[in-house]
Amino acid sequence: MMSDKRGSRNNRQGNERTRDSSSSPSGSHFNHGFETRFKATAIVDEILMRTPESDKRYGLLLLLRHQLEVDEKQLEEARRVIEQFQEVYEKLTSPANRIGTFLGSPEEGIAHIAVGDAEYYANIDPNLDAPSLKVGTRVKINDAFAVIGDLGYATDGPIAKVSELLPDGRLRVSLDGHGLSAKIVRRSSDLSECEIKVGDEVRLEPSLRVAVELFQRVEVRDYFLEKVSETPWSKIGGQDEAIRLIRELIEVPLLYPELYRKFGKQRVKGILLYGPPGCGKTLIGKATAYNVTKAYREKVGNDVREYFMLINGPQILSMWVGETERAIREIFATARERSREGYLVFIFVDEADAILRTRSSGKWLDMANTVVPQFAAEMDGLVDTENVVVMLTSNRPDYIDPAILRPGRIDRKLKIARPNRDASREILAIYLNESVPIHSSLIAEHGSHEAARQFLIDRTIDFLFRRNSETAFVDIYLRNGRRQTLYWCDLISGALIMSLVERAKDFALRRAIENGDEGEGVTLNDLCEAAFLEYRESEIFPKSENLEDWLKLIDYEPENVVEVRPIWRRERDINISPVV
């Protein structure tokens, strides 16, 4: 049946071909089919067309035609496999293309390229869109060093800091971050119109010839504070002498430079603020930055801004060799850059004894042996910088290396002592200010809110500065057999007074929530109770081997001390009723 159907189909095809060629000789039709198809099946089709189906050879011709079709398909498949093999073979045996960096086009059809350490003028493939090539992009180069492809910008490469902008647009960059390994590079096409500043970072392409990506300077470190909150001198209580000296040492040289030049005086480059914790050293540093800048701005009439760099000593310590030194270099480099931009720069190093400790003899690996010289070298580098001031603070100045504290680096050492009675009253008035709610009964009793506030301040100071058994805090036994008692007032600080007022507010706030009384506010009992809790929480004493350090921190000289004994008491041992 299959043979009959094939025969009928071929017969119809043959009849159609006969009709199409009826006007030409039979031989010419055969030649036309042979010339156009060049396939064996075409010849068989011609034979089938001329052979009647009744011929016993007709079936053999059909089988022959089927076999020819199968052979042709197999041949075509084999041809495809051979072509694929040849394609793979050519890929595997062809030479690798080099990758270079496009540096520009000196003339049409010519590319200036860099391949490794060498540079070439190379032809550009005419099929490549030459105008679209950008300076700094990677290009594919064939064995004849012709540019045959554009690979775009590299996605990786070293980061360098811009140290100088050259007039022709080129950049001087520092590869190690502090200028020891400098290189001149050109800008990529995409950076040609970008605004780049000294201190910005750029990514270089792998051959280190072109800057291809810009990272504008952003201070992400915790110790870079561009703006200081408003901190007038009036917010610092009990430190009039320290404020006077700071203004003379820092503010006057800025406001009257001509007088300093007349007398040949050198400005102070560094100041050390030392004393017990909680007495306002950090606050004084911020107030110095704010007030000196404000006075200088009013003097010169320009929009001068302060740049306060709060450096916490332990914060920049690193276990990795060289990282602390690198952080110090970065701090001073930033200070010099900001100074050139017109800022008044204050480098405020809190807890300086953590990073600037006295160096060891060299028998052991001591980080101070490299950190201290690095810091000293950076301080010496500020000689020609007029508007950078370095301020250090420490609770233990005896731990700081003498090379740092010598004149010419840290020129003045100011002790921030514990507040006396009058100073404590000033500090309490700052925190217990006019905006603090006072209980309505006290206001009614004293006639006004201000009178009630002054009453609370006076009686609270009386309560804190009593010297009796109720406020005795610690007994110190000396080598000569004498005993000395320290009272609350001997250990008072500005931080303690601030915390005392905050605790008293908590008590008043809790009552206001519980009672729903709009007249609720701070009372004298709140302040006295808060004082008792503050000192009770401070009754933490060191072991005997740490006795000297503890005494130094409370600002007591430990030379003749044999023993320290805390005076323990129950919570109700203190009677506040006489004060009230």
Angle at 495 (CA atoms; ends 491, 501), nearest 5 degrees: 105
Write out the DSSP string of 430-485: HHS-TTS-B-HHHHHHHSSHHHHHHHHHHHHHHHHT--STTTEEEEEEETTS-EEE
- 180 has pLDDT over 80: no
Sign of CA dihedral 62, 68, 71, 77: negative
pLDDT tens digits, one per residue of 9-52: 444 444 444 444 443 434 444 444 444 344 677 888 888 888 88
The answer to whether 150 and 128 have CB atoms below 8 angstroms apart is: yes
Strand 306-312 and strand 344-350: pairing? Answer: parallel
The dihedrals phi and psi of 369, each to the nearest 5 degrees, come to -65, -20
Angle at 359 between CA 356 and CA 360, to 5 degrees: 150
| 3-class secondary structure, 574 | coil
Q: Does domain 224-415 fall into CATH 3.40.50.300? A: yes
User: Cα-atom radius of gyration of the chain, to the nearest Å?
Assistant: 45
- Mean pLDDT lowest among 130-139, 419-428, 496-505, 539-548: 539-548
CATH fold match for the domains 159-215 and 224-415? no
Domain residue limits, the chain: 2-93, 98-152, 159-215, 224-415, 421-573
CATH architecture classification, 159-215: Beta Barrel (2.40)
CA distance 508 to 493: 23
Whole-number Cα distances in Å, 81 to 91, 92, 433 = 15, 16, 93
- Name the more confident of 563 and 421: 421
For range 309-331, the mean pLDDT: 77
Q: How far apart are CA 526 and CA 508, in angstroms?
A: 7
- Choose between 564 and 112: higher pLDDT: 112
CB 511 within 8 A of CB 430: no
pTM over 0.75: no
Q: Are 498 and 431 in contact (CB under 8 A)?
A: yes
CA distance 394 to 425: 25
Greater pLDDT, 558 or 494: 494
Per-residue pLDDT tens for 494-508? Answer: 989 999 999 999 999
Buried b (16+ CB within 10 A) or exposed e, 341-357: eebbbbbbbbbbbbbbb
Q: What is the CATH number of domain 98-152?
A: 2.40.50.140
pLDDT band at 572 (very low <50, low <70, confident <90, very high): very low
DSSP letter (8 states) at residue 400: B
Average pLDDT over residues 75-103: 86
Strands 159-165 and 171-174: antiparallel
| Spatial distance between the Cα atoms of 468 and 482, rounded to a whole number of angstroms | 18
User: What are the start-end ranges of the H helices in 301-401?
Assistant: 323-340, 368-380
Share above pLDDT 70 across residues of the chain, in percent, rounded to a whole number: 84
pLDDT-derived band at 8, boundaries 50, 70, 90: very low
Mean pLDDT within 193-213 = 89
Instruction: For 155-189, give the secondary structure using H, E and C.
Output: CCCCEEEEEEECCCCCEEEECCCCCCCEEEEEECH
The pair phi, psi for residue 33, each rounded to 5°, is: -65, -40
| Percent of the chain with pLDDT strictly greater than 90 | 25
